[in-house]
């Protein structure tokens, strides 16, 4: 694992992102990072050093960092990337929520004054089926206050619940007064609706459904909108003036041509670029080609053009 950490992401990757106009990375962390270098079993030490390295490289290449609590105590969604061992969700206990807030306090106190810090995401992809709003919203409010204790300006990012949940619920929750962002996750995957769609139908769905939702949330006079997909080590993010979220240049279309992938990617860049906070691509490197941002750029499947220009100040 130590060897993997030292070779998977390095300073050269930050140089690649800078060269392609990307201005921010979102870095997922597990709750055990607060106990590094000797976290509880079965986790191993070294994640805090890796995060420190990322901040150093980001500073060198004029890139900002968002820290994302991706794996919370007990798991917030039962999936492996939230450190669930058996598919269960145990995050909703008072002990797990309190421990998560301790992690947020640890991260905010450590990085609040670092010039590369842009924001902290309080929790990644809580499950709508398992995490009630009356537990999630107080956690978000308390997490917002903790970040504000250490920084008056760092962005605080709250993620929508995945599953059957409307993101407007977080706009109505009165979580914080300023520099608050709602993270939306947009995939043309993981739902039977997308299974038989043609390339043009996938593109039409983005224009007809997602574009209107983004504009509606932009006009809601609440938190900023972020299209933020989840990462292996770091998401690549471009900020516009307002919101954004997470996405990937992959779909359920089989045998899509390079030109079709280019059209699909161009559509997503155009629509998500309107988000008031920005967009995030999942992920920089991946064993699946079209999930791999670097592979998409180098092989001309995703053409950033003007959309890669960093215009967040």
Residue 313 domain-assigned (yes or no): no
Identify the domain containing residue 266 by its residue range: 2-308
Q: What pLDDT shows up at residue 206?
A: 85
More reliable by pLDDT, 60 or 197: 60
What sign results for the dihedral spanned by CA atoms 207, 270, 293, 47?
A: negative
Most confident of 139-153, 168-182, 246-260: 139-153
CATH number for the domain harbouring residue 31? 3.20.20.80
| pTM score, whole prediction | 0.87
Exposure pattern of 66-103 as b/e (b: 16+ CB <10 Å)?
Answer: bbbbbbbbbbbbbbebbbbeeeebbbbeeebbebbbeb
Beta strands 235-238 and 278-281 are antiparallel
Provide the number of structural domains found in the chain.
Answer: 1
User: Does residue 267 form part of some domain?
Assistant: yes
pLDDT band of 214, cuts 50, 70, 90 = confident
């Amino acid at each position: 694992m130590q060897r993997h950490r030292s070779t998977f992401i390095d300073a050269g990757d930050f140089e690649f992102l800078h060269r392609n106009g990307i201005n921010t990375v979102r870095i997922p962390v597990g709750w055990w990072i607060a106990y590094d270098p000797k976290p509880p079993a079965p986790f191993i030490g070294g994640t805090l050093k890796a995060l420190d390295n990322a901040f150093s490289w980001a500073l060198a290449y004029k890139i900002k960092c968002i820290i994302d609590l991706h794996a919370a105590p007990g798991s917030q969604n039962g999936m492996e990337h939230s450190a669930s061992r058996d598919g269960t969700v145990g995050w909703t206990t008072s002990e797990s929520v309190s421990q998560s807030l301790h992690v947020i306090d640890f991260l905010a106190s450590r990085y609040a004054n670092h010039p590369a810090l842009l924001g902290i995401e309080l929790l990644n992809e809580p499950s709508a089926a398992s995490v009630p709003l009356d537990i999630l919203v107080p956690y978000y409010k308390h997490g917002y206050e903790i970040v504000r204790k250490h920084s008056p300006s760092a962005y605080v990012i709250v993620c929508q619940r995945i599953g059957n949940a409307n993101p407007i619920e977080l706009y109505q929750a009165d979580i914080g007064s300023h520099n608050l962002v709602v993270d939306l996750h947009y995939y043309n995957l993981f739902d039977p609706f997308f299974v038989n769609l043609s390339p043009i139908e996938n593109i039409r769905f983005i224009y007809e459904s997602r574009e209107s939702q983004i504009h509606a949330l932009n006009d809601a006079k609440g938190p900023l909108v972020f299209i933020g997909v989840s990462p292996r080590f770091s998401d690549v993010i471009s900020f516009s003036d307002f919101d954004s979220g997470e996405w990937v240049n992959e779909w359920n279309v089989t045998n899509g041509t390079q030109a079709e992938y280019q059209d699909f990617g161009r559509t997503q860049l155009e629509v998500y670029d309107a988000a008031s906070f920005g967009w995030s691509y999942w992920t920089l490197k991946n064993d699946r080609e079209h999930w791999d941002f670097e592979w998409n750029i180098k092989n001309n499947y995703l053409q950033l053009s003007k959309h890669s220009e960093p215009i967040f100040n």
